[in-house]
Copies of this chain bind each other. A is one copy, B any other.
């Protein structure tokens, strides 16, 4: 019986299907549009998970013929809705994600730290890029989805990203100063030779 967990992914798909039925391909596109900054799925997850959800009667599949092509359109079932809301009600499991940047900085004190500066600079650039996409996404949402009942929730997730990246950019600023000072300290003590 395998007792597969198929964690998380199945709920992402159920949640998307609750809004509107769709094909696997379309679900992937919708993830890219709406959840991209905090969720990702690959084909290798989506199709097997849909198959699994169907086997458990959490979604149903109907074949839609457009010309010669068969589209497999999935829609959530009553059972699926129940499963989804049970998950929505269950507590969020705490996470301690691994952070490669911090691991490198942590160790860079003992080795050549010539690269910490680059790592922080690259990270900062990435966060600044994120900030600008959040900003434009937000104004786009307010324009195009004004009055949509779910808009407030979408803005909440965007705001999370914004708070986060703003804080991390401030940390970069601070860290870059610290690293510069450390570098000067390594060179400084021998005063002006040239």
Contacts and interface: CB of A to CB of B under 8 A. Distances in A.
Interface of A: 8, 11-12, 15, 18-19, 34-40, 81, 84-85, 87-89, 91-115, 118-119, 122-123, 126, 149-150, 152-154, 156-157, 159-160, 163-164, 166-168, 170-171, 174-175, 178-179, 182
Given A15-B107, A110-B150, A160-B175, 14 more contacts: A12-B103, A15-B103, A15-B110, A18-B107, A39-B96, A40-B98, A87-B104, A88-B108, A88-B112, A89-B115, A91-B118, A105-B156, A156-B179, A163-B170
Nearest to A110: B18
A181 to B, nearest CB: 8
A145 B111 CA distance: 19
B168 A96 contact: no
B110 A92 contact: no
Contacts of A102: 38-39, 157, 160
Given A96-B38, A100-B95, A153 B106 contact: yes
A96 B85 CA distance: 25
Contacts of A37: 96
Nearest to A185: B152
* Smallest CB-CB A-B distances: 9 pairs: A167-B167, A109-B150, A109-B153, A15-B107, A38-B99, A163-B171, A163-B167, A38-B102, A102-B157
Nearest to A115: B89
A36 B97 CA distance: 10
A94 to B, nearest CB: 6
Nearest to A155: B178
Contacts of A110: 15, 18-19, 149-150
